[in-house]
Structure 1
Amino acid sequence: MPILRYAVLGHPVAHSLSPRIHAEFGRQLSIALDYSAIDADADEFDNALAAFAASGGVGANITLPHKQRAAAACETLSDRARRAGAANTLARGATGWHGDNTDGVGLVRDLTGRHALDLRARRTLLIGAGGAARGVAPALLDAGIGDLFIANRSADRADALADALAQPGRVHPRYLDDLRALGEFDLIVNATSAARDGGLPALPMSLVGKRTAAVDLSYGEVAIPFLAWARAAGAHDAIDGLGMLVEQAAESFALWHGKRPDTDPVYEQLIEHRAALVTAD
């Protein structure tokens, strides 16, 4: 039987833990697979995805900055991907790619399960309005959060996401410059990639209260600036996106293989690996 080919496409993508995660899932469930990382910038994405399909690729994860472009490249979309206007999981069918979005369910499972957070009625700030934000916003609303404020440098993108969520009175687009006037939040989610370029927006500490959970959808070094700000401001919880990454990967794996792996052992392995790297430094 030929080994099934999968990949993660993004830019940059060399840092991605997805190949390691899916290899562990495959070993756990005795499924042979080949999972690689493909670096493609915005101009290369369509050609890279087509080349991957032509070479026998049957499934792909999509990371920054291509999630919205990936949705447009799909023949069909799940309800989750359609609501988000972004896809992070593609499955190859007879007529083309089918797109899904597992980011939101991955985030909610990590926060409510692994971190035991009750998301209900939490006044929430979502920083960013790109593909990552689009992926998690519907799931947060479905999980029962309270009002959702979307803050972005571009008002047009924040307005577009708010319109797509179609919950006026509950979803409020704002400029980043408006943050100082918004008061405290129970949940703050950083969905921007600005920290990759050293450009985390200046955030007032007045956003943070005694029960605030601050969550960065990124993990590793990229998440450090936001989480350091959150801890300095007195956040009750400061959580990076590693658990979300594992949970959304498990959803992708289940879509492709019909079996959902146990995420806890893989998450613990990644935590131990990270600790070992810090010790080695």
Structure 2
Amino acid sequence: MDQYRVFGNPIKQSRSPIIHQSFAQQTQQQLNYQSEYVALDLFEQTIITFMQSGAKGANITAPFKEQAMALCDQLTERAQLAGAVNTLTFVDGEILGDNTDGEGLVQDLLNHKILLKNSRILLLGAGGAAKGVILPLLAQAPQKIIIANRTVSKAEQLIKKFNNNKLTAAGFDDLGEEKFDLIINATSASLTGKIPPISTALVANTDCYDMVYGKELSPFLAWAKINGATKVIDGLGMLVEQAAESFRIWRNVFPVTAQVLNRLRQED
């Protein structure tokens, strides 16, 4: 049976095995997908050993996505621009690296009927989470994407990588009360119970998305809802959709995601 894993540290919280086993059942694919904890100093050795055992592929989660990129023999364009890899495919002793996070985000937004073409998007944060979603967002032909970060120079450096005139860098204080169609929180603020320092006027009548998810609305989404956001969407759908893209890469079939997402929501 074809073997797949998700490797991370920590990994106990991972929903990926449930998601991929559901996809396999649905598409009648014979595979075994499990999560595996990796010690911080054993990542490279673990991946090589797993590949040499005849395994077909792996997902990579924190904190190993950049290390995974360094191991790859080939990278997709979106992985190169993201500067990180979350999907490895093993072919003839070589490691092919991809990043499906951005595709997962875009698909989830489209599932929620968010119009991305000609839209004005505010992306909060300029770290790894933001990097991984810029190319797929640009592919949807938005009018503009402003990347706002506490340190403006970091956002400016990020923009240089993409060489696209639809991208602009800004500090949180520079945004004023500009109008956006969509605000995406790619900062880690919600993980620490904080809210990005932006004006309440920005979220009024605007769709708001947070890449994190949990049983309750994240601090950012709860705040946005109180202040008049049109829609508030968490990142659980992004998790399922990025997994579906990995599954497609490995198995060349498209799983249906809605029933898997509903199952995860019910388990929450």
Q: Percent identity among equivalent residues?
A: 44
Residue 102 of structure 2: aligned partner: 104
Deviates more, 1:247-256 or 1:86-95: 86-95
After TM superposition, the structure 1 stretch with the greater mean CA deviation from structure 2, 50-59 or 229-238, is 50-59
Q: Tell me if structure 1 keeps the 8 A contact 2:196–2:220.
A: no
What amino acid is aligned across from residue 239 of structure 1 in structure 2?
A: I
For 2:184 and 2:40, how far apart are their aligned partners in 1? 25
**Structure 2 residue 244 is the aligned partner of structure 1 residue 250:** yes
Query: Structure 2 vs 1, CA of residues 193 and 92 (structure 1 numbering), >3 Å: closer, same or farther?
Result: farther
Residues 35-57 of structure 1: per-residue CA shift (max 9 Å, x gap):
22234476554344334334443
Residue 195 of structure 2 is aligned to residue 172 of structure 1: no
Residue 15 (structure 1) aligns with: 13
Q: CA deviation at 1:147?
A: 1.5
Q: 1:79-98, aligned counterparts within 5 Å?
A: 79-98=77-96
RMSD of the alignment, in Å?
2.3
Aligned to 2:157: 160
Contiguous gaps of at least 5 residues in structure 1: 275-281
TM-score where L is the length of structure 2? 0.89
Secondary structure of the structure 1 residue equivalent to 2:69: helix
Which residue identity does 1:268 align to in structure 2?
N
Runs of 4+ in 1 over 6 A off after TM superposition: none
| Structure 1 match to 2:137 | 140
* Alignment-mate amino acid for residue 273 of structure 1: E
Q: Which amino acid aligns with 1:257?
A: R
Distance 2:168 2:17 in 1: 37
Does the 8 Å CA contact 2:7/2:37 hold for their aligned counterparts?
yes
Alignment pair present for 1:197 and 2:195: no
Q: Is the 8 A contact 1:84 1:101 kept in 2?
A: yes
The within-5 A match list for 1:124-139 is: 124-139=121-136
CA distance in 1, matches of 2:187, 2:7: 18
Query: CA shift at 1:33, angstroms?
Result: 2.1
Match of 1:207, as an amino acid?
L
TM-score normalised to structure 1 length:
0.85
Superposition pairs for residues 1-281 of structure 1, below 5 Å? Answer: 3-40=1-38, 43-112=41-110, 114-168=111-165, 170-179=166-175, 181=176, 183-210=178-205, 212-221=206-215, 224-274=218-268
Whether the aligned pair in 2 keeps the contact of 1:81 and 1:99 (CA below 8 Å) is: yes
Which range moves more in the overlay, 123-132 or 218-227? 218-227
Q: Which amino acid aligns with 2:237?
A: G
Instruction: Judge conservation of contact 1:7–1:59 (CA < 8 Å) in 2.
Output: yes
- Partner Cα distance (2:59, 2:258) in 1: 21
Amino acid at match of 2:78: R
Deviations 1:226-247 (A, max 9, x none): 2112112211010011112111
Cα offset, 1:177, TM superposition? 4.2
- Cα distance in 2, alignment partners of residues 184 and 42 from structure 1: 43
Displacement of 1:11 in angstroms is: 3.6
Distance 1:43 1:194, change over 3 A: farther
Say if 1:252 and 1:156 are closer, same or farther in 2 by CA, change over 3 A: same
Determine the C-alpha separation between the residues in 2 that align with 1:197 and 1:203: 17
